[in-house]
Amino acid sequence: MGIYYIDGTFVSASEAVLPVSDLAVLRGYGVFDFMRTYGGRPFQLKAHVKRLRNSAHLIGLSCPWSLQEIRDIVEETLRRNDYLESNIRLLITGGDSDDSITPGTQPRLLVMISEVKTFPVHWYTAGVKIITKDITRFIPGAKSIDYIRAILALDDAKAQHAVESLYVDSHDNILEGTTSNLFVVSDGNVVTPAENILPGITRDVVLEITTSSFKIALRSVTKKELFRADEVFVTSSNKEILPVIQVDDQQIGNGKPGKVTVQIMDMFKAYTQEYAKRIAAE
């Protein structure tokens, strides 16, 4: 059982509690971020903490902790755990409220550490199915703890033997997944939506490492274009890069992970391996 940081105190995960008067419990008011380690060190920690603080700003939630203070708390919480590789979840809650709805002035900060979860190998070697849903996120730039829409969309995906659900707006534009960002490959060009999404940290890394190797476009992607794509993949911190071979009832390409997707998967793996080696040498 791991060690968590809860509102100024380090406690066993089994003893971690949050007051029922907290707005996170009463109203689903709060923000979070999620990352993992490579080589035992937090990957893209600064970027994740910056996004956490920005999420809080976007929903009007006070964040009295500086970027460095949160980074230090994450590092200390990680030191108190002994997993080979860890998932790190950061959470800022709304704190207590005098009237059970108006945010107060004392939010709570939580850092939760758990062992990295592995996913079926065949997801990466054979590809996965995902679905589309006519749903959009409220304040998409904020990583809010309000996940009702995402939970329902994922339940629908699982019922259709899919692993992810993509949000589609009223103009039939694909936005993002419930916990991932979308990339499509057409004629060797790599395209990812850029508006009304939560820009993922893994997405940013993929864009960084592929810019010199592929023609990249940040623009809207319609459902029609998605179905006609040569390749599709989604990115996230926990699943990394996941090749998609079917969207709804439509097969993508030849029904196998595409050449470009596999190349980008290899590039990302090399990037994280180099990161782990560099950290180990420090």
pLDDT at position 1: 74
pLDDT digits (tens, 9 = 90+) for 34-88: 999 999 999 999 999 999 999 999 999 999 999 999 999 999 999 999 999 999 9
Separation between Cα atoms, residue 85 and residue 108, nearest integer Å: 26
Task: Specify the CATH number for 3-115; select among 3.40.640.10, 3.30.470.10, 3.40.50.2300, 3.30.70.3000.
Answer: 3.30.470.10
Residues of the chain with CATH 3.30.470.10: 3-115
- Does residue 89 have a pLDDT over 80? yes
pLDDT digits (tens, 9 = 90+) for 3-39: 999 999 999 999 999 999 999 999 999 999 999 999 9
pLDDT at position 35: 98
* Average pLDDT estimate for 167-190: 97
pLDDT at position 174: 98
Amino acid letter for position 178: T
Instruction: Enter the tokens of residue 22.
Output: 């907290």
pLDDT at position 260: 98
pLDDT at position 238: 96
Separation between Cα atoms, residue 124 and residue 258, nearest integer Å: 11
Read off the pTM. 0.95
- Does residue 276 have a pLDDT over 90? no
- The strand pairing partners of 87, in sequence order, are 36, 114
With contact defined as beta carbons under 8 Å apart, do 131 and 165 qualify? yes
pLDDT at position 279: 79
Separation between Cα atoms, residue 160 and residue 147, nearest integer Å: 20
- Does residue 121 have a pLDDT over 80? yes
Q: Check: CATH 3.20.10.10 for 121-273? A: yes
Residues of the chain with CATH 3.20.10.10: 121-273
Instruction: Enter the tokens of residue 234.
Output: 């989604």
Separation between Cα atoms, residue 182 and residue 105, nearest integer Å: 37
pLDDT at position 85: 97
